[in-house]
Structure 1
Amino acid sequence: MQNKRALMVWGLLVVAANLRPSLTGVGPLLDRVQADLGLSPAVAGLVNTLPLLAFAVISPVVPRMAPRRGPERLLASALVVLTLGIAIRWVPSTVSLFAGTVLIGAGIAVGNVLLPSLIKRDFPTKVGLLTSAYATVMGGVAAVASGVAVPISEVAPGGWYTALGCWIALALAAIVLWLPQVRTPRPAARAVSGHRLPWGSGLAWAVTAFMGLQSLGFYVVVTWLPQVVQDSGIGAAEAGWLLFVFQVVAVVTSLAAPAMLRWARDQRALATVNSLIMLAGYAGLLLAPQWALLWTVVLGLGGGACLVLALAFLSLRAQDAAAAGALSAMAQSVGYLLAAVGPAVFGLLHTVSSGWSTPLALMCAAAAGQTLVAVVAGRGTVPALRRG
């Protein structure tokens, strides 16, 4: 029994390791992709936007699909789709690049929704610990992917195609480790989905808003932080390292999350304080951009904790695994739609205002809004809903 549970944990963690590297490894290579394929900046930007749109479109469908196929089989299918997407994107053509990106987004979307509900179902007393563990693995591999993308493209045959395609090895490893879960029969009563999405719950909307606003902040930072700090007088190489620092600090912070979750009676104070830390980071970049390293560390501290809290809310605010699946689908659908729009709006405001003050003020407002919803999202349980 212990061996089966350990294998389940390892499977979940390796699945989590696949949920970000195919996304974060693109940004550092985007200029090379654009030059080699002759893409305009707007078209090249779709490589980052399409997966987030796939998250928003597919997430609400997952709770309907999981009871029919079984969550283990559905997750295995998603890993196959992800692997196929990475393989297709390895082919050197514009069509392959975008077709593979859509498949990658679809596969990751299913994993995003199912992991919180599987943790709620199989490890209900370890939600905080396992959520932190998979967030740490997810963030750590994402940071590595962004850091090694350019070096791999410079030494590997195929250049940036290989730098994007090499993550197929990790996806294949996840399939192999997850296969035992597919072969293990699960009682029908232990299904992780089946509830209708909780659109009528105020608490569910607070969790959704918290998820969306922290996702918005993450994708704005990873997209625009290098350009923001370069325009304040920092060199391009140093700006790239600052982005790496942001992700590493976020990973380290997520490691401390289990202790914080165990200590707190509920999560209102934790969510509020860390949202205020995010607000301080954005305000610092706005008012004193010359201290960019300090504000990057501050954003990493708040961002890492907020990510773990957002993921933990999907399980902690739900009565059972089925409700966790429904809440996860709702929060990630709306949340990633907001995340997809955020970087584009940030860039548009920069263009219109000819500076970074207006877009950074917008992020301060977003962090302030996140602070307000944190007070609601940090406590309570979404009411039981009728099964769909």
Structure 2
Amino acid sequence: MSRRPLIPALLAVVAVFIASLNLRPGIASLGVVITDITEHFDAGGASAGVLTALPGFCFAIFGIIAVPLARKIGLTATMTGGMAVSLVGVGLRPWVGDIWVFILLSGLLVAGIAVANVLLPAWIKLHGGKNWIALTTVYTAVLGLGGALGPLSALLFHGEGAWRWVIFIWVFAAVAQLLVWIPVWLRSGNDFPASPPGVGVDGGVATQPKVSLWKSPTAVALMIFFGMQSMNAYIQMGWLPTMLIDAGVSLNKASIAIALLGAFGLLGGLVIPTMIARFRHFRFFPILFATLTIAGYLGIILAPAQGWLLWAMLLGLGGFCFPTALALIPSRTVSAVMTARLSGFVQPVGYLFAGAGPLLVGAAYDSLGGWSVILAVLCLGAVVKGAVGYLAARERSVDRELGLVS
């Protein structure tokens, strides 16, 4: 007998919407004012590099912690606690007087986001019931919306100290998130999904063994694909405005460019989950998206100022790899517990790529003083991304590859 959902459908939609909305603005709003922040604190390029690398490393570290913690206290309780931690970070960091305290509070913000990043796909699989594809669409689409809205807050505030309000305004979304999720938590209790039973040698029910996900080719390919795309996304989020401004593009246009990436993320989030469910040969699409990414990077090398809008659009379309990777996590698993395990496997390791990428780009930029070599290397990385994306998107189930279901 199937378990009756604890969360009413409308509340589930609202909860997924507000949680997804909060996953990017606190990070994306930082990129367009990072120069103002480092100048205010009289900090060097190393501090900017730490700030751009922080999301990836925090997502990796706290993503690893998220699943074991959720086993003890539940998916919803863990996510709600993370949301409270994020609220502290986003609310306090604009008003501190030291760059390292600012970085620490940014780490708190990202740590809370990391927990939801890993657990929300499993929460959707568990509480979504037959509507899990629709909830996944809400998740991936609104994630893109948050990425688009984040940098646009830079257009609302001007003058000395405006950067504080650019990043502080997102505290209101964080408060709204907590107000929605506390009632969800009170309804849910300890809601970590139980492992589905296997079949014993005598035909009876047996406890499923915990097989390493490293033995699943699809899981490993998805982890690398997610990592390569996350690395590209955070390099773009942290450094694309600087690339364009260095080429003579205005701050307002650079803000629009970074917002376009998020807008295309919204579009991708709307269409990708349904495409994965309906297209038998979806595996070819990651190759297409990687090719568009290469075209965007080449455009920035050849004519950054003249075609900035087109290059941002191409990178945005190439960024469809991100909702693809997110949507593949529940769609390539059978059970909710495997969704949680796969998410906890893919995202933390993948975000190590995302953390290292912006840091290495910052160091390379300080050394080279330009972007052409860096962008050429990113083009090569996009080739790898397309190849592993093809492998990850094949119509296979991680559960079946590990022999956990027939």
TM (normalized to structure 1)?
Answer: 0.89
Structure 2 match to 1:374: 389
Counterpart secondary structure, 2:215: coil
Q: Does 1:59 align with 2:63?
A: yes
- Report how far residue 252 of structure 1 moved: 2.7
Counterpart secondary structure, 2:399: coil
Q: Does 1:190 align with 2:193?
A: yes
Could you tell me whether the CA contact under 8 Å between 2:6 and 2:188 is conserved in 1? no
Q: Does 1:280 align with 2:295?
A: yes
Q: Does 1:37 align with 2:41?
A: yes
Could you tell me whether the CA contact under 8 Å between 1:132 and 1:254 is conserved in 2? yes
- Report how far residue 236 of structure 1 moved: 4.3
Structure 2 match to 1:299: 315
Q: Does 1:109 align with 2:125?
A: no
Could you tell me whether the CA contact under 8 Å between 1:117 and 1:192 is conserved in 2? no
Within 5 Å, which residues of 2 pair with 1:99-248?
99-123=104-128, 125-149=130-154, 151-152=156-157, 154=159, 159-185=162-188, 190-191=193-194, 198-248=213-263
- Report how far residue 354 of structure 1 moved: 4.5
- Report how far residue 386 of structure 1 moved: 11
* Higher mean C-alpha displacement, 2-11 vs 99-108: 2-11
* Higher mean C-alpha displacement, 163-172 vs 14-23: 163-172
CA displacement, residues 173-207 of structure 1 (integer Å, 9 cap, x when unaligned) = 11111122212246868359996762332221100
CA displacement, residues 206-238 of structure 1 (integer Å, 9 cap, x when unaligned) = 001111111111111222223333444544443
CA distance in 2, matches of 1:220, 1:188: 35
- Give the counterpart letter for 2:170 in structure 1: W
- Report how far residue 359 of structure 1 moved: 1.0
- Give the counterpart letter for 2:146 in structure 1: V
Counterpart secondary structure, 1:265: coil
Q: Does 1:8 align with 2:23?
A: no
Counterpart secondary structure, 2:214: coil
- Report how far residue 154 of structure 1 moved: 4.1
Structure 1 match to 2:89: 85
Give the alignment partner of residue 264 of structure 1, picking from 279, 282, 299: 279
Structure 1 match to 2:374: 359
Q: Does 1:383 align with 2:399?
A: yes
Superposition CA RMSD, Å: 2.8
Structure 1 match to 2:201: none
- Report how far residue 255 of structure 1 moved: 2.4
Flag structure 1 segments of 5+ consecutive residues without an equivalent: none
CA distance in 1, matches of 2:124, 2:240: 33
CA distance in 2, matches of 1:187, 1:37: 43
- Report how far residue 75 of structure 1 moved: 1.0
- Give the counterpart letter for 1:378 in structure 2: A
CA distance in 1, matches of 2:281, 2:335: 18
- Give the counterpart letter for 2:325 in structure 1: A
- Report how far residue 371 of structure 1 moved: 0.9
Could you tell me whether the CA contact under 8 Å between 2:241 and 2:258 is conserved in 1? yes
TM (normalized to structure 2)?
Answer: 0.85
Counterpart secondary structure, 1:383: helix
Could you tell me whether the CA contact under 8 Å between 1:197 and 1:329 is conserved in 2? no
- Report how far residue 368 of structure 1 moved: 0.5
Could you tell me whether the CA contact under 8 Å between 1:82 and 1:103 is conserved in 2? yes
Give the alignment partner of residue 330 of structure 1, picking from 332, 345, 348: 345
- Report how far residue 323 of structure 1 moved: 1.1
* Higher mean C-alpha displacement, 182-191 vs 82-91: 182-191
- Report how far residue 338 of structure 1 moved: 0.6
CA displacement, residues 235-276 of structure 1 (integer Å, 9 cap, x when unaligned) = 444333322233323323332324423431253122222222
Instruction: Report % sequence identity.
Output: 29
- Report how far residue 166 of structure 1 moved: 2.7
Could you tell me whether the CA contact under 8 Å between 1:132 and 1:308 is conserved in 2? no
Flag structure 2 segments of 5+ consecutive residues without an equivalent: 197-207
Structure 1 match to 2:72: 68
CA displacement, residues 36-75 of structure 1 (integer Å, 9 cap, x when unaligned) = 2222221233223223211111111211111110111111
